Amino acid sequence: MHRRFEVIPGAQAQVDWGDEGKILAHMGFGKVYSFHMTLSYSRDPFCCFTTSQDLETFFDCHRRAFAHFGGVPMTVVYDRTKTVVRRHVAPGEAVPLHPEAVGFAGHYDFDIDVLAAYRPTGKGRVERQVLIVRDHVLSGRSFTSVEEMDAAFAAWVPQRRAQTHRTHQQVIGERAAGDHAALKPLPPTPYLVAERHLRPVGKDCLIAFGGNLYSVPARKVRPRQLVEIRATKSQVMLHSTVPDPHGETLLATHARAVGRGARVVEETHWDGLPTGKNRRTTTGEVPVQPRHHQPLGEEARSLQALLNRAAATQVVVGRRPLSVYDELTGTRPFTTHRTPKESS
């Protein structure tokens, strides 16, 4: 059992995904998803179609929905999707939100309302809208692209707004006018949605991300310093975690590499580093010039010969019998043979 509720104009919108399956499989797309946002007061709908549910796509759909409605509601209701909730917790505990969702909501000035687990009736308005769009826009039709599907929804919206809703018994378009007027204005600049990671700087001024290497200015970083990576589908922006004296954090911007194993380097980032031009190297074609030494004395030459392994093999060593050492020490050599006189 649950209590039915209504909201005031501009107070709430509900968001949900729909899985449209392989509707574009003949065009090479594995799956197509529908993103839905419905204004709770008027039931005014928005829908767009995508081939991904990743973080950047999710919030790009939000921007399109806000532009469609001409403003931002005070609250947006979600289920526990991983693009909004960082991890699941026990009932009654505070839900840890995804940092990118918090940043996006702060930029557009709306509150995030996450439903309790297993409470689908909390966003029944948008869940009903998923089925309506599927029945009236997609059913019995074939498409060649997501853009064509978006155009089909846009052509259907005036028909939906002309209908009288069964719950509030008013024309959806008339009630939507009051809903749109109560929405908050859009910010002057859109929010840039990006993946965010911390990575250390290597001694070669390169940072590893996504199987590729990206350079940062050598004069602005130190080895093993942590740098924040903000990556979109087309760009990789590298930011310092501490602002410089001018309050700036951006270190470098690169085009995002395709695939793995690429090195994206801006040569000016290595300015000030040793170039290796003074290193003594040879290709084997240039003969090595002998070093010039001052003449050494006889004793110094003998010592130098002992220190040099090649020369040590040429040193002449005197040889003498062991009996010489016996005579010098006054000892007799040990023998096991005795004469007949000694035995008597």
CA dihedral 258, 261, 265, 270 (to 10 degrees): 160
Looking at the domain assignment, is residue 338 inside a domain? no
Q: Domain containing 46 — which CATH number?
A: 3.30.420.10
Looking at the domain assignment, is residue 334 inside a domain? no
DSSP-derived pairing of the beta strands 263-264 and 212-215: parallel
Largest CA distance in the chain: 146
Looking at the domain assignment, is residue 255 inside a domain? yes
Residue 215, CB-side half-sphere exposure with 13 Å CA sphere: 14
Is the model's pLDDT at 9 over the cut of 50? Answer: yes
Q: Which domain holds residue 125?
A: 12-181
**Of 249, 270, 291, the domain-final residue:** 270
**Of 252, 270, 288, the domain-final residue:** 270
Average pLDDT, the chain: 85
Looking at the domain assignment, is residue 186 inside a domain? no
User: pLDDT digit string (tens) for 191-211?
Assistant: 888 788 899 999 999 999 999
Q: Are residues 119 and 157 in the same domain?
A: yes
Counting the structural domains of the chain, the total is 2
User: pLDDT digit string (tens) for 122-140?
Assistant: 788 999 999 999 999 999 8
Which residue has tokens 């240039």?
Answer: 286
Closest CA to 36 of 110, 125, 119: 125
Contacts of 238 (CB under 8 A, 6+ apart): 207, 214, 216, 227, 228, 229, 230, 250, 251, 252, 253, 254
Residue 194: the pLDDT is 79
Query: What confidence category does residue 28 fall into, taking pLDDT thresholds of 50, 70 and 90?
Result: confident
- Report how far apart the first and last C-alpha atoms of the chain are (Å, whole number): 129
Ramachandran area for residue 43 (φ above 0: left; ψ -120 to 50: alpha; else beta): left
Looking at the domain assignment, is residue 304 inside a domain? no
User: pLDDT digit string (tens) for 65-106?
Assistant: 999 999 999 999 998 888 999 887 777 778 899 888 999 999
Looking at the domain assignment, is residue 82 inside a domain? yes
Contacts of 112 (CB under 8 A, 6+ apart): 75, 76, 78, 84, 97, 101, 102, 105
E-only strand ranges, 51-129: 75-78, 111-114
Q: Are residues 245 and 162 in the same domain?
A: no
Q: Are residues 177 and 209 in the same domain?
A: no
DSSP state at residue 213: E
Looking at the domain assignment, is residue 314 inside a domain? no
Q: Are residues 25 and 135 in the same domain?
A: yes
Looking at the domain assignment, is residue 335 inside a domain? no
Residues 243, 244, 245: CA angle, nearest 5 degrees:
120
E-only strand ranges, 29-129: 33-39, 45-50, 75-78, 111-114
Encoded tokens for 44: 């005014």
